[in-house]
Amino acid sequence: MSGPAITPLRTPGRAPRVLTIDAEDWFHVCGDDYYSDPRRWDAFPSRFERTFVSLLDRLDRGAHRATVFFLGWIAARHPDLVREAARRGHEIALHGDLHRRADELSPEEFREDLRRGAERLEKASGARAELYRAAEWSIRSPEDPALSVLAAERFRADASMTSMPPLGRPENLLGPHRVETASGPLVEVPPLTGRGFGRRVPAGGSWAFRVLSPERVALSEASYRDRGHPAVFTFHPWEFDPEHPPMEGLAAVTRLVHFAGRRRLPQRFDAWLSEERCVSLGEAIAELRAA
């Protein structure tokens, strides 16, 4: 069995808490016959501006720094909000153009989506994004050809790969690592996970952060950070929207991910933010050393 060479990386000492935001609107779900079709998106009522700005306001209170992964589609429609996030000190990164799962695209299609998203984001921000996250953790393993495309397109880091089945392979590393792709090196930083129901489960955002007890999330976070693994948390502006449009006909799993525990999120999130200052992914990567 041979794959790309992998070097585990760690933070010397205790690793930081990392905040990431996937900047997308409420209808940007994956794999749905109705909502995932970009030809429909401009007809949906956008909730992005108000939910995104209110999330940025929450972060201002504690001088938190986040990495914001923008869809190119969003950057093209809200270039002012890309600049606003940068002006407030956040790191601008790419979430692809049209929120397609990476493993459902050929390497050529993946490259095309990546380039288009990167161009739209650069046009809005004036700078090239160097960090990437695929929709729905859809880079599955270090052998995935998407990593090589990312390196060839001058991305230096990716945050798309988890070891949580069924999204990622259980043998994927829990902590950050450098992957030597055919097109050059790339730093991979996986999201925070924990143990539950006898298996690995998410702990750093989305439904898990909303549904699991704060104590359980804190235990997972401590176990990562004590080992020198940055604890990467991820949130979406639509999770905080009290007027989120109802979504008829969603598959049960998508519905759970989208809606479970949302009522308690704002208060829980603010309490979590007040515990300590979050840093961006770029800041956390700068501290990593070969383990």
Residue 257 beta carbon to Zn ion: minimum distance, rounded to whole angstroms: 11
Residues of this chain that bind Zn ion (CB under 5 A): 22, 24, 135
- Euclidean distance between CA atoms 67 and 243, whole angstroms: 25
Which CB, 94 or 279, lies closer to Zn ion?
A: 94
Residue 184 beta carbon to Zn ion: minimum distance, rounded to whole angstroms: 26
Which CB, 96 or 176, lies closer to Zn ion?
A: 96
Count Cβ atoms below 10 Å from residue 114 Cβ, excluding itself.
25
- Euclidean distance between CA atoms 258 and 284, whole angstroms: 28
Residue 169 beta carbon to Zn ion: minimum distance, rounded to whole angstroms: 21
Which CB, 16 or 117, lies closer to Zn ion?
A: 117
Residue 218 beta carbon to Zn ion: minimum distance, rounded to whole angstroms: 25
Which CB, 68 or 288, lies closer to Zn ion?
A: 68
Count Cβ atoms below 10 Å from residue 166 Cβ, excluding itself.
7
Which CB, 110 or 228, lies closer to Zn ion?
A: 110
- Measured CA to CA in angstroms, residue 123 lies from 73, 86, 106, 249, 270 at distances of 12, 13, 26, 36, 33
Residue 167 beta carbon to Zn ion: minimum distance, rounded to whole angstroms: 13
Residue 116 beta carbon to Zn ion: minimum distance, rounded to whole angstroms: 16
Residue 278 is classified by DSSP as -
Beta strand spans in the chain (E): 6-10, 17-23, 66-70, 91-94, 131-132, 157-158, 177-181, 184-188, 193-196, 199-202, 231-235, 289-290
Helix, strand, coil distribution of the chain in percent, nearest 5: 40, 20, 40
Which CB, 102 or 279, lies closer to Zn ion?
A: 102
- Euclidean distance between CA atoms 214 and 271, whole angstroms: 10
Point out the residue whose Cβ comes nearest to Zn ion. Answer: 22
